[in-house]
Chains A and B, each alone.
Chain A
Amino acid sequence: MSHLSESRAKEYWRRNKLLMLKLASVWFIVSFGGGVLLVDVLNHIQVGGYKLGFWFAQQGSIYTFIALIFYYARAMHKLDQAFDVEERN
């Protein structure tokens, strides 16, 4: 069991949830937003040979997903250190 006080544990969880909420919004905006709901609007913008909406649906959303996961992993690692809840191994 952890040595965290109840209020510290609550704070750790609150900050984790806040981070997840922020990243989930980006996740939603690029895929369901850029790739599906707003695709017609974005398709008016041309980037090289790509229509922007089409690019989000077939390329951009996937790159963003990767960035989101690594950002989350790094931010959580820092949070773990700040609250001293890292695993020792």
Chain B
Amino acid sequence: MDLTTTTYLVVGFTFAVYLGIAIWARAGSTKEFYVAGGGIHPIANGMATAADWMSAASFIGMAGLIAFMGYGGSVFLMGWTGGYVILAMLVAPYLRKYGKFTVPEFIGDRFYSDTARIVAVLCLIICSVTYVIGQMKGIGVAFSRFLETDYATGLYTGMVIVFFYAVLGGMKGITYTQIAQYCVLILAYTIPAIFISLQLTGNPIPQLGLGSTLVGTDTYLLDKLDQTVQMLGFSQYTTQTRISSLNMFAYTASLMIGTAGLPHVIIRFFTVPTVKDARSSAGWALVFIAILYTTAPAVAAMARLNIMQTIEPSPGEYLKIDERPDWFRNWENTGLLVIEDKNGDGRIQYSADAETNELVKLDRDILVLANPEIAQLPNWVIALVAAGGLAAALSTAAGLLLAISSAISHDLLKGTFMPNISEKAELNASRCAMAAAIAGAGYLGLHPPGFAAGTVALAFGLAASSIFPALMMGIFSKTVTREGAIAGMLSGIGVTLFYVFQHKGIMFVADWTYLEHLAPHWFFGIEPNAFGVFGAIVNFSVALLVSQLTSAPPERIQALVEDIRIPMGSDVAVIHP
């Protein structure tokens, strides 16, 4: 059976499963729609959270980033996992105890202000919309590359699938689909990694293979990689720093607190029965995430080494262009891999020097997708990787869309503009909001605005600088006032946007930079993507200062803060008015 047919079968089978779940897991109440009824087992929720969390960027992009950044790529590994420790200790148990449906709802109640709630909704929508565009693009690209449809057809197909299970089932449908999607994506990621680790090191566990010697030699894989890249003039793989230690510190911290402030992750912890479950569920989520995240550095290093050795089989002896392998030719057809025989010797010279380098383009997104081809694995494995990439993009898109639609129907409509709306009408409104969110995301996926490229980084920066500090002060302080929280959120988001736009242009239009956008003008050499942690510091400082100057929160708010610290009684709070 040829590859395209196999891919259609595998992807078609996974889609049939998602649709089956959609029909089985319909939501009958707002509680089912927003928090899946609140009865999800902590391990099941952990698995769903892992799929929710790991996007097309984690699945396709991350190993490629690490492969070319070496040690510098560690910011993503630590940043996107360390946030779960913060979630488990500082966020999830208390918000679960509070027992409401959305993140802005907590902020609005704790800061006794509809304005605070609306500001939080705005921050949530900006973070989630920018994030969802990337997923829509991922779906379109995966379809066009593996199923040979055009980009738009792929995008529409993805939208129809999400529409079914998200509109019908809400959080309930999304949760069960995400569990299925996790299984697909983790198999798709680990199977090729196991084969490649076995081929290179003889050890089937990639995490151990990365620290082992190469088959038939006494040379450690990482030492060999360090030597090979250095010989071609690149920095040493295992010590190559990203700009500076300070920058790596800030980048890691921004990703960590951004993780703990992203609403689509936080609301997943509203679906478990108890506070105790919310704590352990964060641990399970990280176990399931770590299976991919500890495999990724092995995939990265092994793929880099494989590519190097393909191009330069023995020192100084470069690959003849006529003898290049099939996967090389396949990826050249996509334009993501480009060679140019500059000196006309019929061989591909690869070097860090742009003048003589003949591997002109090697898109880092190729790595994970080409892995099974490089390792000459059977067609079904390649088809599985396609299904895995789609599962990663669909599951994250659905989680984000739920966060957006519940903010619209629950916080704006029910909470602010139409407080008397009935349960049934709210459920219908939430379905309409979901449908509109899917249509909007699809439109943005088809016509990506200029700012789409820098968006995921922006989402983390904004969540880190606006929502995370507001949650921390809401949970841990009894004295932060409504004025303090609002001023804090606005200044945190403001200063982060100012810094990002200063260096990347307003709305990422390159011509619209202001002041100076060159690297020498970076604040202490911090790149814009790593700035969220400074936005958070500004948010905290402004909020605490303004709170000193305004009158203290009312008595009932102080009682509320005391109450969320004690697990007991959360089953009472769950019953929603």
A is bound by B: yes
Contact check, B84 vs A69: say whether CB atoms are below 8 A apart. yes
B358 nearest CB across to chain A (Å): 30
Of A9, A13, A39, A49, most B-chain CB atoms within 10 Å: A49
Q: Which residues of A contact B220 (CB under 8 A)?
A: 48-49
Contact check, B211 vs A50: say whether CB atoms are below 8 A apart. yes
Contacting B at CB under 8 A, from A35-73, are 35-37, 39-40, 43, 47-51, 54-55, 57-59, 61-63, 65-66, 68-70, 72-73
| Contact A27-B85, Cβ < 8 Å, known A49-B212, A49-B223 | yes
Contact check, A61 vs B78: say whether CB atoms are below 8 A apart. yes
| Contact A61-B279, Cβ < 8 Å, known A50-B210, A51-B222 | no
Tell me, in angstroms, the Cα distance from A84 to B571 when the chains sit together.
16
Contact check, A57 vs B221: say whether CB atoms are below 8 A apart. no
Contact check, B82 vs A65: say whether CB atoms are below 8 A apart. yes
Which among A27, A50, A61, A65 is the interface contact of B222 at CB below 8 angstroms?
Answer: A50
- Is residue B286 contacting chain A, with contact meaning CB distance below 8 A? yes
| Contact A1-B569, Cβ < 8 Å, known A49-B213, A58-B297, A89-B273 | yes
Q: Which residue of A lies closest to B287 (CB)?
A: A66
Q: Which residue of B lies closest to A8 (CB)?
A: B566
- Is residue A5 contacting chain B, with contact meaning CB distance below 8 A? no
B538 nearest CB across to chain A (Å): 21
Which among A13, A68, A87 is the interface contact of B568 at CB below 8 angstroms?
Answer: A87
Q: Which residue of A lies closest to B241 (CB)?
A: A39
A24 nearest CB across to chain B (Å): 7
Q: Which residue of B lies closest to A19 (CB)?
A: B89
Contact check, A49 vs B221: say whether CB atoms are below 8 A apart. yes
Contact check, B279 vs A69: say whether CB atoms are below 8 A apart. yes
B207 nearest CB across to chain A (Å): 6
Chain B contact surface mostly: helix
Which among A12, A39, A47, A63 is the interface contact of B211 at CB below 8 angstroms?
Answer: A47
Contact check, B249 vs A69: say whether CB atoms are below 8 A apart. no
Q: Which residues of B contact A54 (CB under 8 A)?
A: 71, 74, 222, 238-239
Tell me, in angstroms, the Cα distance from A39 to B71 when the chains sit together.
10
Q: Which residue of A lies closest to B79 (CB)?
A: A31
- Is residue B275 contacting chain A, with contact meaning CB distance below 8 A? yes
Which among A50, A59, A70, A80 is the interface contact of B567 at CB below 8 angstroms?
Answer: A80
- Is residue A2 contacting chain B, with contact meaning CB distance below 8 A? yes
9 A-B pairs with least C-beta separation: A49-B220, A57-B74, A69-B283, A73-B279, A48-B211, A49-B211, A58-B297, A73-B280, A85-B568
- Is residue B329 contacting chain A, with contact meaning CB distance below 8 A? no
Contact check, A88 vs B565: say whether CB atoms are below 8 A apart. no
Contact check, B249 vs A32: say whether CB atoms are below 8 A apart. yes
A59 nearest CB across to chain B (Å): 6
Contact check, A72 vs B222: say whether CB atoms are below 8 A apart. no
Contact check, A87 vs B567: say whether CB atoms are below 8 A apart. yes
Q: Which residue of B lies closest to A24 (CB)?
A: B89
Contacting A at CB under 8 A, from B548-573, are 562-563, 565-571
Q: Which residue of A lies closest to B283 (CB)?
A: A69
Contacting A at CB under 8 A, from B233-291, are 238-239, 245, 248-249, 252-253, 273-276, 279-280, 282-283, 286-287, 290
Q: Which residues of B contact A2 (CB under 8 A)?
A: 563, 566, 568-569
Q: Which residue of B lies closest to A26 (CB)?
A: B85
Tell me, in angstroms, the Cα distance from A62 to B83 when the chains sit together.
11
Q: Which residues of A contact B297 (CB under 8 A)?
A: 58-59
Q: Which residues of B contact A76 (CB under 8 A)?
A: 93, 276, 279
Q: Which residues of A contact B106 (CB under 8 A)?
A: none
Contact check, A35 vs B74: say whether CB atoms are below 8 A apart. yes
Contact check, B78 vs A23: say whether CB atoms are below 8 A apart. no
Tell me, in angstroms, the Cα distance from A46 to B290 when the chains sit together.
23
Q: Which residues of B contact A57 (CB under 8 A)?
A: 71, 74, 77-78
Of B93, B212, B279, B563, most A-chain CB atoms within 10 Å: B279
Contact check, B85 vs A87: say whether CB atoms are below 8 A apart. no
Q: Which residues of A contact B222 (CB under 8 A)?
A: 49-51, 54
Q: Which residues of B contact A62 (CB under 8 A)?
A: 77-78, 81, 286, 290, 293-294
Contact check, A13 vs B565: say whether CB atoms are below 8 A apart. yes
